[in-house]
Chains A and B, each alone.
Chain A
Amino acid sequence: EAQVTQNPRYLITVTGKKLTVTCSQNMNHEYMSWYRQDPGLGLRQIYYSMNVEVTDKGDVPEGYKVSRKEKRNFPLILESPSPNQTSLYFCASSLRGFHEQYFGPGTRLTVT
């Protein structure tokens, strides 16, 4: 089944404790992206990747890191999480460019 998977789905952590949210797609898509969703703010892009070893900042990149060593994986890294990073995170992928993005099921992160 073609899909985007994220792990974990739920995570509660404390301020400053490094964490990684994994994202994987099995559709051989070139484009991958991370978004955060907050009430009243919609979806905001954190980072995106046009292809392996190519990443770029979205609209809200502060406090996040990403890497794209393999085509199928695009992990999101929070080196020192803070409470303002409490949010619902979505990974997405598309065959080429940002058109027709497929979204993962989301990761709900709480930072206390």
Chain B
Amino acid sequence: GENVEQHPSTLSVQEGDSAVIKCTYSDSASNYFPWYKQELGKGPQLIIDIRSNVGEKKDQRIAVTLNKTAKHFSLHITETQPEDSAVYFCAASANTDKLIFGTGTRLQVFP
């Protein structure tokens, strides 16, 4: 079955710097790759997603890139702000029934 690895597990950046979180997946049939943000004490919230027919997608300060050949995808956050501090999860799916999540990255943005 599908397996998703996520790195790093923790990431600390200075406010205004960029942050990059990387995930790799095992099933070459995977075709949907969302990213969720989980703030302290809350449930995860979808922030951006990408499908396999697209190489890059951007939404303001957030972008996701996909490399199908290498089977990895990344989340890029530019001009980080303290409110970006949270746990971020990547996920992948090769069918229509379920998502497989990565283990999460705790991002801390220091003022």
A, B from the same assembly: yes
Query: Which residues of A line the B interface, CB within 8 A?
Result: 4, 33, 35, 40-45, 48, 50, 56, 58-59, 90, 92, 97-106
B64 to chain A, nearest CB (A): 15
Partner of B43, one of A50, A90, A99: A90
Across the interface, do B102 and A104 meet the contact criterion of CB distance under 8 Å? no
B84-111 contacts to A (CB < 8 Å)? 89, 91, 93, 96-104
Partner of A103, one of B9, B44, B93: B44
Contact flag A103-B45 (CB < 8 Å), given A42-B6, A42-B104, A43-B89: yes
Partner of A48, one of B1, B41, B97, B102: B97
> In the complex the two chains form, what is the Cα distance from A92 to B98 in whole Å?
12
B97 to chain A, nearest CB (A): 7
Contact flag A90-B44 (CB < 8 Å), given A98-B97, A99-B34: yes
**Which A residues lie within 8 Å of B103 (CB)?**
40-42
Interface residues on B, range: 20 to 34
> In the complex the two chains form, what is the Cα distance from A43 to B99 in whole Å?
10
**Which B residues lie within 8 Å of A48 (CB)?**
97-98
A99 to chain B, nearest CB (A): 7
> In the complex the two chains form, what is the Cα distance from A42 to B9 in whole Å?
11
What 0/1 pattern do residues 18 to 43 of B give for CB contact below 8 A with A? Answer: 00000000000000101010000111
Partner of A104, one of B36, B43, B89, B100: B43
Across the interface, do A42 and B101 meet the contact criterion of CB distance under 8 Å? yes
**Which A residues lie within 8 Å of B32 (CB)?**
99
**Which A residues lie within 8 Å of B54 (CB)?**
none
**Which A residues lie within 8 Å of B1 (CB)?**
59
Across the interface, do A99 and B49 meet the contact criterion of CB distance under 8 Å? yes
Across the interface, do A103 and B99 meet the contact criterion of CB distance under 8 Å? no
**Chain B, residue nearest A57 (CB):** B98
> In the complex the two chains form, what is the Cα distance from A58 to B36 in whole Å?
19
